C-alpha cells in the first residue's frame, strides 16, 4: 500500500529533521572540514601536525572519506574558512578548534543549522547549542593542579603573578579553577593576571612589565609551556633571583625534559596534549560514517607531571 501525500510529506519532514539534528543515516561518502589555528607556537604546531596525521591515516583506511584541513591566523579568516568548507567543499561534518570562543560561535551555529555535524575541540563556544559534541582536555584540573602544587611549594605564603592565554572559555575555566584553589591560602597574593596570548613573545613582554612593577615575586603561573619560555627569558635578562618557580602547562617535550633534569625554575608541569585534535577527528569520522553521534562532552584527564613520573610524558620525536 502506497503512502498518501500527507503521509509522504510527514516522512520527508522527519528525514530532514533527522539530518538537521546531526542524526543522519550511515554515509558511504563523508567530507569533514577541519578548522584549526595556524602553527604560531609549539602547541598549535602540534595541533596542525596531529590534524594532518589524522587526515592521512583516516583517508587511507576509508576510501569514501575526505578530510580538508584549513589553518587560520585570525578569527575573520577562520570564519570565512568555515563558510567556504560548507559552500565550496560541501562538508558534512566540521571539527573546529576556534581561535576565539565568542567570535566563532555564530559562524559555527550557522553551518550547524544547515545540517553540518559540529565537533568543537578545546576552546569551547559561548553557546553550546552551536555544537553537537565537545572534546577537550580537563581545563579545571589544568588550573587546579598548578595552584595546589605552588601553594604547597610556597608553604601557603608569598606572591604569584599569572599569565592568561587568550580570551576563551578554556582560559576562563583554567583561571577560575586556579583562583579557587589559591583562594584557600590567604597568605598567597596574586599580584596581577594579564593575557600572554599563548605566545612566548607576548609573554616575554608581560613578564618584563611584572618584573618592573613588582620587586618581590615568588612564583609564576605561566599557564602554558610556550609562554613559560618568554617568562624565563625575561627573568634571566633581568637577573632576578627572587622567583623560585615557573609553572607552565600542556606537557611540551622541552618542559618535561626540564622537569626530568631537575631544572632550577621548571620543576613541574601539567599534561594537555594537542593529540586531542587527532582523537576528535577520528571519533567524528567513525561516528558519522556509521550515522551515529558522539557523546555531548568528552574530557581527557590532565595529570600533574613531576620528576617522579616525567618519563611517562616525554616523547622526544613528537612535534611538541
Q: What is the CATH number of the domain that holds 196?
A: 3.40.50.2300
Q: Domain range spanning residue 196?
A: 139-272+307-313
Distance CA 273, CA 306 (A): 16
Q: Are residues 246 and 263 in the same domain?
A: yes
Which tens digits make up the pLDDT trace of 133-181?
999 999 999 999 999 999 999 999 999 999 999 988 889 999 999 999 9
SS3 237: helix
Contact 217, 211 (CB under 8 A): yes
Element of type H or E holding 180: helix 169-182
**Closest Cα partner for 189 from 163, 166, 162?**
162
Q: Is residue 278 part of a domain?
A: yes
User: Residue 122 region, left (φ>0) first, then alpha (ψ -120 to 50), else beta?
Assistant: left
Q: Do 143 and 268 belong to one domain?
A: yes
Distance CA 128, CA 122 (A): 13
pLDDT digits (tens, 9 = 90+) for 84-121: 999 999 999 999 999 999 999 999 999 999 999 999 99
Torsion sign, CA atoms 165, 171, 172, 176: negative
CA distance linking residue 49 with residue 57, whole number of Å: 12
C-alpha cell at 35: 578548522
Whether residue 129 is found in the same domain as residue 145: no
> Same domain for 240 and 192?
yes
Judge contact between 190 and 160, C-beta under 8 A: yes
Are 167 and 249 contained in the same domain?
A: yes
Asked if residue 32 lies in contact with residue 67, where contact means CB atoms within 8 angstroms, the answer is yes
Domain-located, residue 19: no
Please count the other Cβ atoms lying within 10 Å of the Cβ belonging to residue 14: 10
The answer to whether 11 and 269 have CB atoms below 8 angstroms apart is no
Instruction: Confirm whether 10 is domain-assigned.
Output: no
Measured CA to CA, the distance from residue 280 to residue 54 in angstroms comes to 9
Residue 9 lies in a domain: no
Say how far apart CA 1 and CA 193 lie, in whole Å: 70
Whether 161 and 258 share a structural domain: yes
Does the reported pTM lie above 0.75?
A: no
pLDDT of res. 27: 61
- Write down the pLDDT at residue 2: 42
Residue 249, in any domain of the structure: yes
Co-location of 104 and 201 in the same domain:
no
Tell me, yes or no, whether 3 lies in a domain: no
User: Would you say residue 2 lies in a domain?
Assistant: no
Q: How far apart are CA 169 and CA 272, in angstroms?
A: 16
How high is the pLDDT of residue 26?
57
**Is 217 found in the same domain as 102?**
no
Residue 268 and residue 144 share a domain = yes
C-alpha cell at 203: 609573554
For residues 182 and 69, membership in a common domain is answered with no
Question: What per-residue confidence (pLDDT) applies to 43?
Answer: 86
- One domain, residues 159 and 221: yes
State which residues of the chain have pLDDT below 70. Answer: 1-27
Q: Are residues 127 and 155 in the same domain?
A: no
Q: How many domains does the chain fold into?
A: 2
Q: Is residue 185 included in any domain, yes or no?
A: yes
Amino acid at each position: 500500500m502506497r503512502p498518501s501525500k500527507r503521509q509522504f510529506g510527514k516522512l520527508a519532514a522527519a528525514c530532514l529533521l533527522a539530518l538537521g539534528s546531526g542524526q543522519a543515516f550511515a554515509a558511504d561518502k563523508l567530507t569533514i572540514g577541519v578548522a584549526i589555528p595556524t602553527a604560531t607556537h609549539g602547541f598549535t604546531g602540534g595541533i596542525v601536525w596531529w590534524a594532518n596525521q589524522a587526515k592521512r591515516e583516516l583517508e587511507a583506511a576509508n576510501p569514501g572519506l575526505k578530510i580538508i584541513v584549513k589553518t587560520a591566523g585570525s578569527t575573520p579568516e577562520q570564519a570565512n574558512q568555515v563558510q567556504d568548507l560548507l559552500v565550496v567543499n560541501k562538508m558534512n561534518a566540521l571539527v573546529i578548534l576556534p581561535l576565539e570562543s565568542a567570535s566563532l560561535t555564530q559562524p559555527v551555529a550557522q553551518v550547524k543549522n544547515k545540517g553540518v555535524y559540529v565537533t568543537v575541540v578545546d576552546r569551547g563556544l559561548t553557546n553550546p547549542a552551536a555544537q553537537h559534541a565537545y572534546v577537550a582536555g580537563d581545563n579545571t584540573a589544568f588550573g587546579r593542579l598548578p595552584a595546589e602544587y605552588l601553594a604547597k611549594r610556597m608553604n601557603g605564603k608569598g606572591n604569584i603573578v599569572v599569565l592568561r592565554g587568550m580570551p576563551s572559555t578554556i582560559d576562563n575555566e583554567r583561571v577560575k579553577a586556579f583562583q579557587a584553589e589559591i583562594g584557600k591560602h590567604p597568605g598567597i597574593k596574586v599580584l596581577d593576571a594579564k593575557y600572554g596570548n599563548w605566545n612566548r613573545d607576548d609573554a616575554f613582554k608581560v613578564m618584563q612589565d611584572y618584573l618592573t612593577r613588582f620587586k618581590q615575586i615568588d612564583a609564576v603561573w605561566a599557564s602554558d609551556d610556550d609562554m613559560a619560555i618568554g617568562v624565563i627569558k625575561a627573568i634571566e635578562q633581568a637577573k632576578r633571583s627572587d622567583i623560585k618557580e615557573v609553572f607552565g602547562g600542556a606537557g611540551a617535550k622541552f618542559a618535561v625534559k626540564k622537569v626530568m633534569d631537575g631544572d632550577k625554575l621548571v620543576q613541574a608541569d601539567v599534561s594537555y596534549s594537542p593529540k586531542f585534535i587527532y582523537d576528535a577527528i577520528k571519533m567524528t569520522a567513525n561516528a558519522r560514517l556509521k550515522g551515529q553521534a558522539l557523546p555531548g562532552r568528552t574530557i581527557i584527564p590532565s595529570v600533574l607531571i613531576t620528576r617522579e613520573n616525567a618519563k611517562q610524558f616525554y616523547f622526544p620525536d613528537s612535534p611538541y
